[in-house]
Amino acid sequence: MKVKVAINGYGTIGKRVADAVRLQEDMEVVGVTKTKPDFEARLAVERGYKLYVAIPENVNRFEEAGIEISGTINDLLAECDVVVDCSPGKVGASNKPLYEKAGVKAIFQGGEKKDVAEVSFSTLANYDAAIGKDFVRVVSCNTTGLSRLLATVRRAGNIRKVRATMLRRVVDPKEDKKGLVNGIMPDPVRLPSHHGPDVQTVMPDINIITTAFKVPTTLMHVHAVSIEMPEVNADDVLAILENEPRLMLVSAEEGFTSTARIIEYARELRMRYDLFENVIWKESVAYNDGELFVTQAIHQESIVVPENVDAIRAMFELADKEESIRKTNKSLGIA
Amino acid sequence: MKVKVAINGYGTIGKRVADAVRLQEDMEVVGVTKTKPDFEARLAVERGYKLYVAIPENVNRFEEAGIEISGTINDLLAECDVVVDCSPGKVGASNKPLYEKAGVKAIFQGGEKKDVAEVSFSTLANYDAAIGKDFVRVVSCNTTGLSRLLATVRRAGNIRKVRATMLRRVVDPKEDKKGLVNGIMPDPVRLPSHHGPDVQTVMPDINIITTAFKVPTTLMHVHAVSIEMPEVNADDVLAILENEPRLMLVSAEEGFTSTARIIEYARELRMRYDLFENVIWKESVAYNDGELFVTQAIHQESIVVPENVDAIRAMFELADKEESIRKTNKSLGIA
Amino acid sequence: MKVKVAINGYGTIGKRVADAVRLQEDMEVVGVTKTKPDFEARLAVERGYKLYVAIPENVNRFEEAGIEISGTINDLLAECDVVVDCSPGKVGASNKPLYEKAGVKAIFQGGEKKDVAEVSFSTLANYDAAIGKDFVRVVSCNTTGLSRLLATVRRAGNIRKVRATMLRRVVDPKEDKKGLVNGIMPDPVRLPSHHGPDVQTVMPDINIITTAFKVPTTLMHVHAVSIEMPEVNADDVLAILENEPRLMLVSAEEGFTSTARIIEYARELRMRYDLFENVIWKESVAYNDGELFVTQAIHQESIVVPENVDAIRAMFELADKEESIRKTNKSLGIA
Amino acid sequence: MKVKVAINGYGTIGKRVADAVRLQEDMEVVGVTKTKPDFEARLAVERGYKLYVAIPENVNRFEEAGIEISGTINDLLAECDVVVDCSPGKVGASNKPLYEKAGVKAIFQGGEKKDVAEVSFSTLANYDAAIGKDFVRVVSCNTTGLSRLLATVRRAGNIRKVRATMLRRVVDPKEDKKGLVNGIMPDPVRLPSHHGPDVQTVMPDINIITTAFKVPTTLMHVHAVSIEMPEVNADDVLAILENEPRLMLVSAEEGFTSTARIIEYARELRMRYDLFENVIWKESVAYNDGELFVTQAIHQESIVVPENVDAIRAMFELADKEESIRKTNKSLGIA
């Protein structure tokens, strides 16, 4: 029996999680929701997803637009074992009572506060913490990127302290009303940023401090990370990083001079140019005066997709960590 | 016997034409070239293309990078019936003597001057003009976009005069050294722009005047077109436009509010988010005081791909216009 | 006795109008308002403007911020003869009852609908229409740019029809939350845009149709204009344009290749890099097949400043059109 | 007798240094150079600078453009005591033999390598090192920004180690051909960046490591700096920073939420919106776990202007450090 998964919010994250779940043999998508009858709603139906209306009073609008629906969010919750909430940040928490009332498990995204769930989750960092849980929060794209990196680096030695500066894409590519057109915005201005404490929700023993900025690009975040740790050889670390499938190493020498070029490559690899892996510049990995330096790029739209799939497995005890990683990676083409 | 096609320049246009040729039953890719051993070169090999070095003195660099090559451009020319020159603008013309010496037919792109070839080409406008020719120039992305639109609109009535303002994306997405970061550039400042006369290379009877600007975006060009013609009903024109597969109609009401949203949709449709079709905003089609207005978006990276395939068919007399269009459209998913 | 002018909204437009009014000998600024105690509020006080709080319940916030205020908007209205409403679009109309109750004249900006006032105004087009009026609306930056151009061009011959495509800067430079980061947005998608009818509020006899787009830049708008008119010599038109002080002619040959370069020049000329003049590319002026072509750039933040000053003179019958233009131009350095 | 100063290269830096020198009582501008007769050349003449042609064979082009010149660079060198070389990066070094031959002192900018001069210079860090020297290099905008900050912070305690991530504006505002339109570029990819060693040219005892990125904005650089030092109170540090005139403190609470807003403020303060001061966000100053954090914005076009003036004073022994700073600050409005 496959786990029945509902996707509440077939948007940037939701449509990717839906497609990923569909590729698994131990789970299935029983339906997805949309609030408005836009082209994403139409696409959902064309792809064979049963479509439910997230805001029941909008049912008429879907009918007028000629988009076939299968009911409302309430109908969908009656059909599923778990709902992956992919609402915009902060909306997820307000949906929780609905999920509790329906008696279904739920996964929330990193835009929600940590207390929305029993546990915050990032596969490489703390898969086991989600085993059997009812409410799990998959941490945000930036936190996922940092957690994966740190969970891998610590295989090379103890981490004493982490400092990271995050250059965040200001909006996703599809956004056309919000943004910063010309400028740099410290966000937050008051230091440190929330990313450090957020990493600690999945790796509580890591001493980390972060600063963050918004810059006028849509493609990827970039992290400048330094990790205080006992002396290591940069090549040894590189070998460890290269061995972790959820990290992808690229080289400026081969033409990867910017996030623009990384995305150009991604357009060749996967639909939607998704990059489920942290992308690490090989040349950036250096050990200097007690610190390991790493520069990585994070595709904010897709990086958390594998973690959402793993979270479902942990919550339903479908597989242990290694098996879930293996299955998720294989199905998504993460090599 | 399939026509043997060489792609000289496996870059933005070349890699797309290669993949499109590969999908045809009446032609095959015998090899592609690269000047440098970058990630695109590696990808070409991974996809099973035989890779040749475009600049023979660079052979060593490919060997050092561990990228398998099958020879140089000269070796490739000995293997093919036709070469599709996808060099950067102006370089194509300098390659022509090479092609003549090798005794192969050649297709050039719109970045070359018109006299590089016997005929300038755009399928809907003048397929027959390329039949049996040795040297054909597929017109540029902007000219292809205009020519397709006009060739279709004139099914609704005589075109008296065309005025178009072109908002051009300043660079392609993979470019990270050139551009205009904040500003608008009339290009050219001296009017009119070359796009009008370029349309006339494929539709000599069209009276057209164009102005053009570069704006700081990478995704698509946008054309504001007005067409003086005898009174028509906008809905009738819409029906004609909708009936032409190389045009795709979208609606702001469905969420297509900008080129950002069109590309978001394209990411769901095709690898590399290619849009082989002109994308026309339905709501923009209006007839007012003697003029038909149309606003269209053109994906500069992929729009000429179908025309390159059709050009090969015409040059080798593999099919008549209707059959070539049908085969190209079907293979590329143009519905 | 000088006319006592209040500025309601010391923001992008308001601060410029305040400084311009201050330079006139026949009017004076009796006070300006702000809604929030931000750095612009502090600057207003530092420059010697009496500061009033636009939203009375916010008085405490100014006191806490240590910014000296002279009262609220109501106190200011009791002191002035005329208020220049520089609120954000649509807010102006909601302020009108306040102005009527206070018995003061008022100028609104182009973000308001035309029926907010007795007359829409643009100096070169219809100065006399505002003489003695109580409520006047100065048309928007784009409409001002078009009206000045057309009012000047028609000195060269009858205008039969005008077509204009407007490339609009998506947000002002100080904006850091809204925008379009990468893309082009037809705005509106449904043609024509409102700019044509808006020109007709000040030049009712002009036959004009416009389309408009938002592009990701902050500096200036650019207009591609074509004007059907009896045959003229482009050099004669240039001479007429050069003779009108509110138009500035620049040449790409001298380095003015884009709005980025125009602003670089403006930074040398005036504080805030204000360009009170339409900036017209000399090389763009051409007469072709019955149409005059002109490309112009419009500095959206400052272009309407002279018109606001002129409007005050007309409303209080301080000067006739020629005299007002002369005084405004001289005081603002428009040569 | 005033020191006679020539400016070689009246561009982004040169025009600002010329204006600043002109404001000093102990030096004068004897002439400026341009390579091309563009609008900046015309402006130089309009402002009363004697104009010399930097590339002698271009004299004709100036005459054709009707721009009055006073000779070539060689004539200018015969008139001056010192030349401030404001050529584009790397060109300055090639000019040095010319200066040596003419027997004049010279100042180079930070785009040159350090061995172009006897000493690298940044006022607060090492004014005395330039006393009496013939060839001095004023360090780059980023290095000046870091050096000023560190020279000030060390008044509060010993600096053990500095880590800085630099978010660099990709091009200056006037640039319209180069840039990165959508993306983030690690520059360099291989760590660390040259900025650390460059700081050490003026503060050799500082242990500093830096990483740097280009982001698609034109306005300012931003530096995320952490400084390991003995425990300090953030408010005490703030008081020290506020007391140094070459640093300007701003607050997000007052509306300074991004570099876009800082520049909006600068447009009110000075022509060309020049910010000669490091701009430091008050809220960013924090002491955490052994490190002081500071976020600052640096106006790349103007930040080195005061240092160029000071360098002249040091080279000609016109004043000691305190007096030079006082005179430069007063004349430029640095309070």
pLDDT per residue as tens digits for the range D152-180: 999 999 999 999 999 999 999 999 999 99
Alpha-carbon distance of A304 to A276, in angstroms, equals 7
Chain A positions touching C176 (Cβ under 8 A) are 180, 183, 185
Q: Cα dist. B312→B74, B131, B308, B316, D195 in Å?
A: 21, 9, 7, 6, 54
Report whether A106 contacts A308 (CB < 8 A): no
CA distance D284 to chain A (A): 5
pLDDT tier at B90, thresholds 50, 70, 90: confident
Cβ atoms within 10 Å of B1's Cβ, excluding its own:
6
Task: Write the CB contacts of B89 (distance below 8 Å, at least 6 apart in sequence).
Answer: B109, B111, B112
- Taking the CA of residue B225 as centre, how many other CA atoms within 13 Å lie in the half-sphere pointing to its CB? 30
Which tens digits make up the pLDDT trace of B163-180?
Answer: 999 999 999 999 999 999
Query: Closest chain A residue to D215 measured between Cα atoms?
Result: A215
Report whether A130 contacts A106 (CB < 8 A): no
CA distance C4 to chain D (A): 24
CA distance C297 to chain A (A): 19
Contact A180 D211 (CB under 8 A): no
pLDDT above 90: residue B319? yes
* Closest alpha carbon to A302 in A108, A84, A17: A17
Query: What's the pTM value of the predicted model, to 2 decimals?
Result: 0.98
- Pairs across A and D, CB distance < 8 A: 151
Same domain, C183 and C267: yes
Same domain, B244 and B188: yes
Query: Across the interface, which of B173, B178, B217 has its CB nearest the CB of D179?
Result: B178
Cβ atoms within 10 Å of A1's Cβ, excluding its own:
6
For position C89, what pLDDT does the model report? Answer: 85
Which tens digits make up the pLDDT trace of A132-154?
Answer: 999 999 999 999 999 999 999 99
Reported ipTM: the value is 0.97
Same domain, D69 and D181: no
Q: Kindly list the residues of chain C whose beta carbon comes within 8 Å of any beta carbon in chain D.
A: 15, 36-40, 42-43, 65, 173-176, 181-182, 218, 250, 254-258, 260-261, 263-265, 267-268, 271-273
Contact B182 C252 (CB under 8 A): no
Same domain, B241 and B319: no
Tell me the average pLDDT of chain A. 97
pLDDT above 90: residue A89? no
Report whether B159 contacts B153 (CB < 8 A): yes
Chain D positions touching A163 (Cβ under 8 A) are 163, 226
Contact C191 B257 (CB under 8 A): no
Share of chain B above pLDDT 90, in %: 99
What is the residue-level pLDDT of chain C in tens, covering all 335 positions? 899 999 999 999 999 999 999 999 999 999 999 999 999 999 999 999 999 999 999 999 999 999 999 999 999 999 999 999 999 988 999 999 999 999 999 999 999 999 999 999 999 999 999 999 999 999 999 999 999 999 999 999 999 999 999 999 999 999 999 999 999 999 999 999 999 999 999 999 999 999 999 999 999 999 999 999 999 999 999 999 999 999 999 999 999 999 999 999 999 999 999 999 999 999 999 999 999 999 999 999 999 999 999 999 999 999 999 999 999 999 999 99
Query: Closest chain B residue to C287 measured between Cα atoms?
Result: B191
Contact C183 A177 (CB under 8 A): no
Q: What share of chain B is helix, strand, coil (3-state, %, to 5)?
A: 40, 25, 35
Interface mutation target, options A165, A176, A257, A259, chain D, most CBs of D under 10 Å: A165
Report whether A179 contacts A216 (CB < 8 A): yes
For position A229, what pLDDT does the model report? Answer: 98
Same domain, C194 and C266: yes
pLDDT tier at D100, thresholds 50, 70, 90: very high
For position A94, what pLDDT does the model report? Answer: 96
Same domain, C106 and C119: yes
Alpha-carbon distance of B106 to B108, in angstroms, equals 6
Lowest mean pLDDT among A84-93, A318-327, B314-323, C248-257: A84-93
A86 catalytic, yes or no? no
Query: Across the interface, which of C183, C224, C288 has its CB nearest the CB of B217?
Result: C183
- Pairs across B and C, CB distance < 8 A: 151
Helices (H), chain A: 12-22, 39-46, 59-64, 73-79, 91-102, 123-126, 141-153, 195-200, 234-242, 259-269, 305-315, 321-332
The radius of gyration of chain A from alpha carbons, rounded to an integer in Å, stands at: 20
For position D89, what pLDDT does the model report? Answer: 85
Contact B209 C252 (CB under 8 A): no
Tally of domains in chain C:
2
CA distance C171 to chain D (A): 11
Just list the catalytic residues of D.
Answer: 141
Same domain, B87 and B171: no
* CATH assignment of the domain containing A259: 3.30.360.10
pLDDT tier at A1, thresholds 50, 70, 90: confident
* Closest alpha carbon to B199 in B151, B239, B247: B151
Alpha-carbon distance of D16 to D13, in angstroms, equals 5
Same domain, A104 and A175: no
Cα angle: A234, vertex A239, A243; to 5 degrees:
145
Cβ-in-10-Å burial (0-12, 13-18, 19+) of A98 comes to: middle
Same domain, B155 and B93: no
**Which tokens go with A56?**
């029941």
Report whether C31 contacts C80 (CB < 8 A): yes
Residue A72 DSSP symbol = B
Same domain, D134 and D202: no
Residue C283 DSSP symbol = G
Which of C18, C82, C141, C241 is an active site residue?
A: C141
CA distance C165 to chain B (A): 7
* Closest alpha carbon to A166 in A224, A217, A111: A224
- Taking the CA of residue B302 as centre, how many other CA atoms within 13 Å lie in the half-sphere pointing to its CB? 24
Is the Cα torsion angle A181, A183, A184, A190 positive or negative in sign? negative
Query: Closest chain A residue to D188 measured between Cα atoms?
Result: A284
For residues B34-38, average pLDDT: 96
User: Looking at the DSSP assignment, which residues form a beta bridge with residue A185?
Assistant: A214
For residues D250-274, average pLDDT: 97
Q: How close are the terminal C-alpha atoms of chain A, in Å?
A: 28
Same domain, D146 and D225: yes
- Taking the CA of residue D282 as centre, how many other CA atoms within 13 Å lie in the half-sphere pointing to its CB? 14
- Pairs across C and D, CB distance < 8 A: 75
**Which tokens go with A124?**
């490489």
Q: Cα dist. D219→A20, A183, B176, C120, C181 in Å?
A: 41, 6, 18, 37, 16
* CATH assignment of the domain containing D123: 3.40.50.720
For position C216, what pLDDT does the model report? Answer: 98
Alpha-carbon distance of B122 to B140, in angstroms, equals 9
Query: Across the interface, which of A65, A173, A271 has its CB nearest the CB of B264?
Result: A173
Contact C185 A170 (CB under 8 A): no
Cβ atoms within 10 Å of B157's Cβ, excluding its own:
16
Is the Cα torsion angle B251, B253, B257, B260 positive or negative in sign? negative
Contact C174 D257 (CB under 8 A): no
Task: Write the CB contacts of C310 (distance below 8 Å, at least 6 apart in sequence).
Answer: C121, C123, C127, C321, C324, C325, C328
Which tens digits make up the pLDDT trace of D39-82?
Answer: 999 999 999 999 999 999 999 999 999 999 999 999 999 999 99
Which tens digits make up the pLDDT trace of B147-156?
Answer: 999 999 999 9
pLDDT above 90: residue B219? yes
User: Looking at the DSSP assignment, which residues form a beta bridge with residue D39?
Assistant: none
pLDDT above 90: residue B1? no
Same domain, C125 and C149: no
Structural domain boundaries, residue B238:
142-298
